[in-house]
Structure 1
Amino acid sequence: MASTVSGATDASPTAVRVVDESVTKKVALAALVGTALEWYDFFLFTTAAALVFNAQFFVSQDPFVAAMGSFATLAVGFVARPIGGFVFGALGDKVGRKKILMVTIVGIGIVTGLIGLLPNYMTIGLAAPILLVALRIVQGLAVGGEWSGAVIIAVENAPVEKRARYAALPQIGSPIGTILSSGGFFGMLFLVGQSNFDAWGWRIPFIAAIPLLAISLWIRSRLSESPEFEALMESGETEHAPIRGVLKNSWRQILVGMCSALLGIGGFYLITSFVVFYGTKVLKLPSELLLLGTLLAAALEIGALIWAGRMGEKFGASKVILWGGVASAIIAIPVFLAIDSRNPVLVVLGMVIGVAVLSIPYAVSGTALTALFATKVRYTGVAITSNTAGVISGFVPLIATALVAANNSFWPGAIILLVVSVLTALSGLFLPALSIEEEGMKH
C-alpha cells in the first residue's frame, strides 16, 4: 500500500491476505457477463437514438431538431446515473457489492425490454416520448450502480499486483455490448430491410434483453462477495454515512477521477453514436456502413483493452491514462478527417482507430478509480466519480449535434474529442498522488 492521502484512509483489515486466483477468475467472468448485458442495453439506446428514435418518438420536419430531441433523451439517462450512483453506491458500501449488483442488472434488463414494447408517437402521441424518457431515467438509475460495483468486486477479489489485469475484464463488457447491440441492429437491417426495420425491426434487439437477463442472473448468482467487504462487516467497520464521507474528504479524488474517465465514456459516444448520426444525416452514408464500422471498432477494442490492462499491470494505471490521452489527442483530427472523406474504407478505419486509441485509458480506469477510495467508501466513491463523468459524456453527442447543425462541419466533433483527450491525459499526472494503492505497478 502506498502512503495515504487526506480523506482516503483505508481501514480494511484485509490489506494483507491470501487470494485464491481461481475464485478471482470466476468473479471477474461474472462481472464481465453482467457489464456486457449492461452495455448491450445501454448501447442499444444510443444506437437507436441515432437511427430511429428521432422518427419514432420525436416528430419534426427538421431532422436536426428531431435528432437533438433523441440525443436529449440519451442525455437524460446520464443525468439519472449519478443519482443511481449515490443510492446504489451507498447501499453497496452498507449491505454488500453482490446484493446491489443483482438489483441493478434486473432493473437494466427489464427496462430495456419495455422500451422494445413501447408504442411510438404515431400511436399514442406525446405519451410516447414521455414514457421513453421515464424508462430511460429508470435505466440510468440502475446503470449508475452497475459498472462501479462490477469493477470493484473484480478488483477486491484480485491479488493487488494483478488488479489492473482483472479490472480490465469488466471493461471488455463495453465492446461485447456494442457488438451485440450493433450486431442486432445490423442483422435486423439485413434480414428485414430498411422500411421494416424502421417500422418494427428495431424493437427485436430490445426485447431480446429479457432472455439475456435470465442468463446473466444465473451467472451472477454464482458471484462471490468481496472478501474485503466481508471483513469490514465482520469487524463492524462499515461506513454509516459513505456519501457524506466521500464528498467531504475525497473531493479531489472525485474531480481527478472524473477527468480520467471522460475519454473512455464521452469519446466512445462521440465516435459511435454521434458519428452514426453525422454519417447518415450529414454525409448521407448508408446506415449499414456506420454500423459495420461500430462493430469492427468494438471487436478490435477487445484486444486493445486486454493489452492496455497488461500495460497497467506493468507500468501503472496513471501512466497508461496519461499516454493514452496523449495518443487520442494526436489522432482526434485525423480520425474525423477520415470519416468526413466519405470513403467507406477510411470511414471504417477512422472509427476503428478512434475507438481503439481512446480505449487505452478506459482499460485501466477501473483500477485507477478503485485505488482512489478506501474500501469502506469505495463503492460510493467510484459510483459518484464514474457517473458524474457519465453525465458530462451523455451530453457530448447532443452538443456535437447542435454545433454541427450551426456550421455543417465535422470540426466540432474533432475539437470535442481533442479537449476530452487532453483532460484525461492531465488526470494521469495527478492520479499517483491521490491513490491509496499502487495501480498494479509491481513488475
Structure 2
Amino acid sequence: MRNLGKGDIKILALSSLGGTLEFYDFIIFVFFAEYISSNFFPANLSDFWKMFNTYGIFAAGYLARPIGGIVMAHFGDKFGRKNMFMLSILLMVIPTFCLAFVPNFQSIGFACIICLVLIRIFQGIAIGGELPGAWVFTFEHAQKHLKHTYLGILTAAVVGGILLGSLVFLIMNFLFSQNELFEWAWRVPFFLGGIFGIISVYLRKFLSETPIFEEMKKRGELEKFPLKEVIKRAKLGVLTSMLITWVLTGCIVVLILLLPSYIAQLLHISKVEQTYLQMLAIVVIASSCVVVGILSDKIGIFKTSLIFSICFLGVCLVFFNALYSLNPIFYVVCILYLLACFCAGIMNLCPSIMSEVFDASIKFSGLSFAYNIAYAISGGFTPQLAYFLHDIAIKNMDNILSLALGAYMLLIALISIVSAFLYLKCKIKTAR
C-alpha cells in the first residue's frame, strides 16, 4: 500500500476543509443561540419563548436536510459529483454570510424572523447534500486499499467543525464583553464563516470529477431516475444505512453535544471547564474515526465494527454507572467519558458501510436518501429522549434506573452490531 501522493493530499485537504467549514457554518448557530434570540425576537417576549423559538428555527435546518440531500444526490448521480459538491458549499456560504448582516427585530420587526427561518432552511438544504456528496466524492477518488482511511479523515474533519465552533465561541467570549456580544459581536463568527466558505468554494474549483463517474458516463451507465432504482433494488442497503446513521446520530448528539452539560451538572464544574472537556472529547472521537477507517481497510468493516461496538457497549456500561452514582469521582468520570468517545469511532462505519452497499450508479442517491431521512428522524427525537432519560437517571441514582441514559447508548452499540451483520448480508447478496 503506497503512501498518499500529492493528488491524494489535495483531494483530502480540500474535501475535509470544505466539510469542516460547512459543518461549522451549520452548527455555529447553536453556540450563539442566546445572542440570536435576544436580537431577533420582541423584547417583551419571555426568555424561555425566545430560546424555544430560536431552537425551533435551528431545528428547521434538520427538517430541510432530506430535501437538499435527495435533490442534489439525484443530479449528482446524473451530472457529476463535483458539480453538486460545489453547489452544496455555495448554498451554505451565502445564507451564513447574510446572517452576519440581517437587521434585528427593532429595525425590521418580524421580517427578521422570516429571514432567519429562510437562512436555516437553505443551510439545511446545503448540509443535506454536502456530507453525502463529500463521502461519495472521496470514496470514488480513493485508492482501493485506502478508501475507508480517506473516509475516516474526512469524517474527523467534519466533526472538527464542532471543535472550530467551540474555539470561536471561547475566543469571542475572551475578546468581547457580554454587552458587545449581545449588541453586535455575535455576528463576527457568521461573517468569518462566510469568508472561509468563499475561500473553500474557490479552492474546490481545482478538484476533478471522480474517475468512477467519468467511466459510467463514458459507458452510458447513468440512471435516468437514480432514487427509483434505489428503492427498487437496494432496500436492504437503505435499511442498513438508516440503522448505522442512527448510530452516528447517537454518538454526535448524546456524547458530544449533550453529555458535557450533563457531566458539568453532576460534577459541579464551570462552563469553561465543560467547554474544555467537550473540545477534548471532539479531538478523541475525531482521532478514533481515523483509527476505525485504517482498521476497516486492514481487517475489514465487519471485524472492526464488532471490536469497537463491543468495546463501546462495555465502556458505556461502566461510564454511565460511574456518572450517575451518588458520589461521582471527577477524574474517573472524565477518563471513562473519553474512552467512550474513542469507542464511538464506530460512527465512521456510517460512511464506510453506506459507500459499499450501493452500486456506483445510485451511490449518491442511495446514501443521501437513507442518511438524511434517518438523521432527520433520529436527530429529531434523540435530544428530547436523552434529556428525559437523564432526568430519570439523576432521580434514581440508588437503583437500576440510574442507567436509563446508558441503556440508550447500549442500544446504539447493539444497533451498530446489527448493522455490521446486515452489511455482511448485503455484500454476500452483491457477490451472487
TM-score by length of 1: 0.83
Is the partner of 1:216 in helix, strand or coil? Answer: helix
Write the letter of the residue equivalent to 2:358.
F
Q: 1:223 & 1:430 partners in 2: Cα distance?
A: 34
Task: Provide the identity percentage.
Answer: 26
1:385/1:298 Cα in 2 relative to 1: closer, same or farther (>3 Å)? same
Whether contact under 8 Å (2:256, 2:281) holds in the other structure is no
Counterpart mapping for 1:291-330 below 5 A = 291-330=275-314
Q: Please say if 1:156 is aligned against 2:140.
A: yes
Counterpart of 2:171? 187
1:266 is displaced (CA, Å) by 3.1
1:339/1:289 Cα in 2 relative to 1: closer, same or farther (>3 Å)? farther
1:300 is displaced (CA, Å) by 2.5
Counterpart of 1:205? 189
1:45 is displaced (CA, Å) by 2.7
Per-residue deviation, residues 151-203 of structure 1 (Å, max 9, x unmatched): 11111112222211122221122232122111000111122244544554433
1:348 is displaced (CA, Å) by 5.1
Q: Which moved more, 1:415-424 or 1:143-152?
A: 415-424
1:171/1:83 Cα in 2 relative to 1: closer, same or farther (>3 Å)? same
Counterpart of 2:8? 24
Ranges in structure 2 where 5+ consecutive residues have no aligned partner: 396-401
Whether contact under 8 Å (2:301, 2:349) holds in the other structure is yes
Q: Which has the higher contact order (CA 8 A, sep 6+)?
A: 1
Whether contact under 8 Å (2:146, 2:297) holds in the other structure is yes
1:35 is displaced (CA, Å) by 1.0
Which of 404, 411, 418 pairs up with 1:419? 411
Q: 1:199 & 1:132 partners in 2: Cα distance?
A: 17
Which of 345, 355, 358 pairs up with 1:370? 355
Q: Please say if 1:266 is aligned against 2:247.
A: no
1:274 is displaced (CA, Å) by 2.5
Q: 1:271 & 1:57 partners in 2: Cα distance?
A: 30
1:108 is displaced (CA, Å) by 1.2
1:400 is displaced (CA, Å) by 2.9
* CA RMSD across the alignment: 3.3
Counterpart mapping for 1:89-128 below 5 A = 89-120=73-104, 126-128=110-112
Which of 429, 434, 443 pairs up with 2:426? 434
Q: 2:270 & 2:350 partners in 1: Cα distance?
A: 34
Write the letter of the residue equivalent to 1:432.
L
Counterpart mapping for 1:201-350 below 5 A = 201-275=185-259, 278=262, 285-332=269-316, 334-336=318-320, 349=335
Q: 2:318 & 2:178 partners in 1: Cα distance?
A: 31
Per-residue deviation, residues 30-59 of structure 1 (Å, max 9, x unmatched): 21111111221222134345x655655578
Whether contact under 8 Å (2:58, 2:120) holds in the other structure is yes
Is the partner of 1:225 in helix, strand or coil? Answer: coil
Q: 1:134 & 1:402 partners in 2: Cα distance?
A: 30
Whether contact under 8 Å (1:74, 1:394) holds in the other structure is no
1:68 is displaced (CA, Å) by 5.0
Counterpart mapping for 1:16-95 below 5 A = 22-49=6-33, 52=35, 61=46, 63=48, 68-95=52-79
Q: 2:378 & 2:267 partners in 1: Cα distance?
A: 24
Write the letter of the residue equivalent to 2:373.
T
Per-residue deviation, residues 261-307 of structure 1 (Å, max 9, x unmatched): 22223321222322355567898753322221221122223321221
Q: 2:4 & 2:260 partners in 1: Cα distance?
A: 44
Whether contact under 8 Å (1:78, 1:391) holds in the other structure is yes
| Richer in helix (by share) | 2
User: How many residues end up aligned between the 2 structures?
Assistant: 417
Q: 1:430 & 1:243 partners in 2: Cα distance?
A: 21
Is the partner of 1:178 in helix, strand or coil? Answer: helix
1:213 is displaced (CA, Å) by 1.0
Ranges in structure 1 where 5+ consecutive residues have no aligned partner: 1-18, 439-443
TM-score by length of 2: 0.84
Is the partner of 1:238 in helix, strand or coil? Answer: coil
Per-residue deviation, residues 220-259 of structure 1 (Å, max 9, x unmatched): 1111211010011112211110011112221221111111
Whether contact under 8 Å (1:36, 1:173) holds in the other structure is yes
1:282/1:343 Cα in 2 relative to 1: closer, same or farther (>3 Å)? closer
Write the letter of the residue equivalent to 2:252.
F
1:128/1:352 Cα in 2 relative to 1: closer, same or farther (>3 Å)? farther
